[in-house]
Amino acid sequence: MQNNRTFTLIKPDVVLKGHLGEIMQTIQDNGFKIIALKLTRLSRVEAMDFYHLHKEKSFYNTLIDFMISGPIVPMVLEKENAVEDFRKLIGATDPQEAAFGTIRRKFGSTKTKNAIHASDSIANSEIEGSFYFSKRELFV
């Protein structure tokens, strides 16, 4: 992933509640350009693979069950300082602790149903982006 890109994934709670459009508008209003996007669904094996770093955590099975419970929308976004700025825009993992005005505060409900995922580093954004998109789709 280029330095000015990040990866994000809108989770099933948002899509099923019909808030996808509002979140995409928020993302664009905050200066992020959408480079790649798809509406898709994970199999259990794919979800386990995507979240393999958390496999020893107590919440892992709950997280996997939730992530396969409905459609998701992975995206690659572009903006200067994208990884850090997008983490600020989504807020803390727990929506109850996330700052007012953040996406998780507004649309999330629990630590599992927290509306959206975002990469925590440029290196991870590359790994996560290529999990969902081909090089051709990413224009690289």
Active site residues: 117
Kindly state whether residue 59 participates in binding ligand CMP, applying the rule CB under 6 A.
yes
Kindly state whether residue 114 participates in binding ligand CMP, applying the rule CB under 6 A.
yes
Sheet holding 116-118, edge to edge: 33-37, 73-78, 5-10, 116-118
For ligand CMP (CB under 6 A), the number of binding residues is: 8
Only one of the segments 20-28, 34-42, 76-84, 110-118 lies at the binding site for ligand CMP (rule: CB under 6 A); that segment is 110-118
Kindly state whether residue 93 participates in binding ligand CMP, applying the rule CB under 6 A.
yes
- Contact with ligand CMP (CB under 6 A): which of 2, 112, 124, 130? 112
Nearer to ligand CMP (CB atom), residue 102 or residue 114: 114
Kindly state whether residue 87 participates in binding ligand CMP, applying the rule CB under 6 A.
no
- The one-letter amino acid code at 130 reads S
Kindly state whether residue 117 participates in binding ligand CMP, applying the rule CB under 6 A.
yes
> Furthest-apart CA pair in the chain: how many Å?
39
Kindly state whether residue 52 participates in binding ligand CMP, applying the rule CB under 6 A.
no
Phi-psi sector, 76: left (phi>0), alpha (psi -120 to 50), beta:
beta
Question: Cα torsion at 106, 65, 36, 96 (round to 10°)?
Answer: 20
Kindly state whether residue 69 participates in binding ligand CMP, applying the rule CB under 6 A.
no
Name residues whose C-beta falls within 8 Å of residue 64's C-beta, 6 or more positions apart in sequence: 44, 47, 48, 51
- Contact with ligand CMP (CB under 6 A): which of 1, 63, 75, 98? 63
Residues that bind ligand CMP (CB under 6 A): 54, 59, 63, 93, 111-112, 114, 117
